[in-house]
A and B are shown apart, each in its own frame.
Chain A
Amino acid sequence: MPVAIGLEGSANKLGVGIILHPPHQTADPPSPHDSAHSDDEAFSTRTQKHTSPPVQILANLRHTYNSPPGTGFLPKDTAAHHRRWVVRLVKQAMKQAKVQLEDIDCICYTKGPGMGAPLGSVAIAARTLSQLWEKPLVGVNHCVGHIEMGRAITGADNPVVLYVSGGNTQVIAYSAQRYRIFGEALDIAVGNCLDRFARVLNIPNDPAPGYNIEQLAKKGKVLLELPYAVKGMDVSFSGILARVEEMARKLETSQTSGGGPWKDDESGQPITKEDLCFTLQETVYAMLVEITERAMAHVGASQVLVVGGVGCNERLQQMMGMMAAERGGSVFATDERFCIDNGIMIAHAGLIAWRMGFRTPLEESTFTQRFRTDEVLINWRD
């Protein structure tokens, strides 16, 4: 039975996952609908509506590097974090998965895209394991990992994919053996916009800046006017970030100076930090839902799958669900175990490729900061 271990470390999360693909499957990524139920205990931890998932998650561990409030994570510190934790995580994952070394077929690692230094430290760990255990390496595109894991978990067959995270904002649809990018952020990623806004307001990075913004936004009421930058199926966030940062500073000065609170022109309500979070979320998520809807209309799809760290956001999932329902379609999303960067998705996508005969020779086991989603040949789909 094919088993793979996956190592992910393209940003501030280090993930190690071990996956098993039950035998007698076609080369197509296993669909949760067509496989016999397995009694593996790992399933009990998964929350999903399908009762017979074919891929078995034997272990899925993650350790996150969080920088102090007001700062972002720097490449060298993040790489050091990954080096410090990788051995411990691999050992723990092997123990939890209860697999023997000989059961493992390949070692999958994130080849890119991501931050150079953290990617490098994880690639070195993967190479070391490969030589130590004499197992082949499989380099995986991080974005393809997200997409394949999302499909496997949710059972979405051929969805339009919105991939939103700290470094990526892409609307993707499958066509002719590639995941084609229909729309993307022209400047910074949506998660980057949220993270940097959080820094200005000193919103903590633990567990994630976006999560904390979401909690604050739940208490926000006033919607202020921000730029709304949709160009076709592309979006731009840098102008929004500049404007909302300006607002955050205005809020701070109004609180410290004696000029009285900053009030909303229409309602007369004082503007709060919560209102800024609310405004930012409502605006950027409306943009994301809009470009997703446009891509769905363009390719004629009714399913939408949301992946990536920002995809955990419940407001985004809610808006996407309403949009999909209006179009007679449905939305698929996963929870933080699979949305946020993890090792299991790398193991999963890597194992699919391995079963198609793909290997990454040691000499070619490099990593790259730039690795477009559409560069990967998706030869396991029709």
Chain B
Amino acid sequence: MAQPPPQQPLRTLPPPFNTSAESFELIAQGAESLLYRTTFLSPAQPAALKVRPQKTWRHPTLDKRLTRQRVLAEARVLVKLSGEGIVAGGGGRKVKDPKKKNDGGGDNGGVGALRGLVPAVLALDWERGWLVTEWIDGVTVKLGIYQRDLAADEGVLRGLLGRIGRVVGLLHLAGVVHGDLTTSNMMLRPTRTPGTNADAMARAEEERGEVEVEGGLEGDIVLIDFGLATQSVSDEDRAVDLYVLERAFGSTHPKEEGQFDEVLKAYGESMGKPGKVVLRRLEDVRMRGRKKSMLG
């Protein structure tokens, strides 16, 4: 959701940021949050502050409920995926929302599965609606594709799409569906950190001979914006997640739409057997989208 912010009256930050000395640079106004670049605790720790301001158009009760749900869901999922601060054996329950059942608590499958491929959580307050995560360098995949060198080999684009498919596959294997997969919600981080899954993936890629040439589409895919994420392993949820991505991709990048199969191919490969079931389910979801009654 990275868009240059329109001219806006200055917004007040929620406490404690309204009185703190760090600088806050408004990076983007997404659909439901304001993203600031700042530092956290130490000036050497660049961080992203995501504030979910109150939506005046929404009923206050509903607004509070949704803000709370989403801040918590996002933090919970990020903590699980990045594996930060979790000792194998169930530490993830610390941030569990008592109201929400059935979030896969107790099952530690997927903990740390996307270490380095999602931002790590630094702090949050669900009542006031903010979350601080580690800062991710780079541009959004959307921007990357828009700015790509059209003269470059199509293989570069295919490489990128393949990496997207593999990251989404990893995410789903970890028991999480993103809920809002778009190319605006994926960062293209230029460098990779050794010892992370990202690094391992990149190395595996090299071994398969998929090393990329120049083209500005290199880098790790880092998934961001988990506000609509849920913990689920159902084929239906996974397929809908892919469908959302497919449609968002097609409408955002009409010229590249034909290459989207590359994402699905890589997804299927990285998921293994369960991936085939999801892809078959995706066909059903697509048909539903197209065939649903369109009256009136």
A residues near B, CB below 8 A?
10-11, 112-115, 165-168, 173, 175-176, 178, 180-189, 191-192, 223, 225, 228, 230-234, 282-283, 286, 289-290, 293-294, 296-300, 302, 308-309, 318-320, 322-323, 326-329, 341, 369-372
Contacts of B252 in A (CB 8 A): 298-299
Complex contact A115–B55 (CB within 8 A): no
Whether A232 touches B248, Cβ cut-off 8 Å, given contacts A186-B240, A187-B288, A370-B290, is yes
Contacts of A322 in B (CB 8 A): 56-57
Among B7, B30, B241, B247, max chain A CB count under 10 A is at B247
Complex contact A290–B31 (CB within 8 A): yes
Identity of the chain B residue whose Cβ is nearest the Cβ of A178 in the assembled complex:
B254
Inter-chain CA distance A98–B251, complex, in Å, is 44
Contacts of A223 in B (CB 8 A): 59, 61-62
A to B CB contacts below 8 Å, 29 in the list:
A113-B294, A114-B294, A166-B295, A167-B293, A167-B295, A176-B254, A178-B254, A181-B251, A184-B289, A223-B59, A231-B179, A231-B180, A232-B180, A232-B245, A233-B180, A234-B247, A286-B58, A290-B31, A293-B31, A293-B32, A297-B1, A297-B29, A298-B252, A299-B252, A300-B3, A320-B57, A326-B56, A371-B294, A372-B290
Identity of the chain A residue whose Cβ is nearest the Cβ of B288 in the assembled complex:
A186
Identity of the chain A residue whose Cβ is nearest the Cβ of B61 in the assembled complex:
A223
Contacts of B66 in A (CB 8 A): 228
Complex contact A298–B248 (CB within 8 A): yes
Contacts of B244 in A (CB 8 A): 231-234
Complex contact B294–A369 (CB within 8 A): yes
Identity of the chain A residue whose Cβ is nearest the Cβ of B185 in the assembled complex:
A232
B12 within 8 A of A: no
Inter-chain CA distance A328–B179, complex, in Å, is 27
B94 within 8 A of A: no
Whether A297 touches B296, Cβ cut-off 8 Å, given contacts A286-B58, A323-B55, is no
Which of A166, A282, A302 is the one whose CB lies under 8 Å from B6? A302
A36 CB, nearest partner CB in chain B, Å: 34
3 closest Cβ contacts across the A-B interface?
A167-B295, A167-B296, A113-B294
> Which residues in chain B, 57-79, are within 8 Å of chain A measured between CB atoms?
57-59, 61-62, 65-66
Contacts of B208 in A (CB 8 A): none
B273 within 8 A of A: no
B8 within 8 A of A: yes
B181 within 8 A of A: yes
Inter-chain CA distance A275–B143, complex, in Å, is 45
Complex contact B248–A233 (CB within 8 A): yes
B270 within 8 A of A: no
Inter-chain CA distance A140–B184, complex, in Å, is 34
Inter-chain CA distance A173–B254, complex, in Å, is 12
Inter-chain CA distance A323–B184, complex, in Å, is 21
Inter-chain CA distance A115–B295, complex, in Å, is 6
Which of A115, A167, A175 is the one whose CB lies under 8 Å from B251? A175
Complex contact B296–A180 (CB within 8 A): no
Complex contact A231–B31 (CB within 8 A): no
Complex contact A113–B180 (CB within 8 A): no
Which of A168, A176, A296, A327 is the one whose CB lies under 8 Å from B294? A168
A308 CB, nearest partner CB in chain B, Å: 8
B138 CB, nearest partner CB in chain A, Å: 19
Count of A-B contacts judged by CB separation below 8 Å? 145
If A168-B295, A232-B180, A298-B182 are given as contacts, then 12 extra A-B residue pairs at C-beta distance below 8 Å, sorted by A number, are: A10-B295, A11-B296, A112-B294, A187-B292, A223-B59, A231-B179, A231-B241, A233-B248, A294-B1, A297-B30, A298-B1, A328-B7
Among B30, B58, B289, B290, max chain A CB count under 10 A is at B58
B291 within 8 A of A: yes
Complex contact A165–B3 (CB within 8 A): no
Contacts of B7 in A (CB 8 A): 328
B228 within 8 A of A: yes
Complex contact A185–B292 (CB within 8 A): yes
Complex contact A114–B295 (CB within 8 A): yes
Complex contact B181–A327 (CB within 8 A): no
Identity of the chain B residue whose Cβ is nearest the Cβ of A321 in the assembled complex:
B57
Which of A166, A299, A327 is the one whose CB lies under 8 Å from B296? A166
Inter-chain CA distance A371–B80, complex, in Å, is 43
Complex contact B31–A173 (CB within 8 A): no
Contacts of B289 in A (CB 8 A): 184, 186
Q: Mark B1-13, 1 if CB is under 8 A from A, else 0.
A: 1011011100000
Identity of the chain B residue whose Cβ is nearest the Cβ of A171 in the assembled complex:
B251
A63 CB, nearest partner CB in chain B, Å: 16
Contacts of A283 in B (CB 8 A): 62
Identity of the chain A residue whose Cβ is nearest the Cβ of B60 in the assembled complex:
A223
Complex contact B56–A165 (CB within 8 A): no
Contacts of A173 in B (CB 8 A): 251
Complex contact A298–B59 (CB within 8 A): no
Inter-chain CA distance A329–B58, complex, in Å, is 18
Whether A180 touches B59, Cβ cut-off 8 Å, given contacts A166-B296, A297-B1, A328-B8, is no
Identity of the chain A residue whose Cβ is nearest the Cβ of B251 in the assembled complex:
A180
Complex contact A232–B294 (CB within 8 A): no
A177 CB, nearest partner CB in chain B, Å: 10
A4 CB, nearest partner CB in chain B, Å: 22
Complex contact A182–B61 (CB within 8 A): no
Inter-chain CA distance A181–B254, complex, in Å, is 12
Contacts of B293 in A (CB 8 A): 167, 188-189, 192, 369
Complex contact B6–A327 (CB within 8 A): yes
Identity of the chain A residue whose Cβ is nearest the Cβ of B177 in the assembled complex:
A231
> Which residues in chain B, 162-179, are within 8 Å of chain A measured between CB atoms?
179
Identity of the chain B residue whose Cβ is nearest the Cβ of A112 in the assembled complex:
B294
Inter-chain CA distance A191–B294, complex, in Å, is 11
Complex contact B57–A289 (CB within 8 A): yes
Complex contact A323–B294 (CB within 8 A): no
Complex contact B30–A232 (CB within 8 A): no
> Which residues in chain B, 220-258, are within 8 Å of chain A measured between CB atoms?
228, 240-241, 244-245, 247-248, 250-252, 254
Inter-chain CA distance A168–B62, complex, in Å, is 25
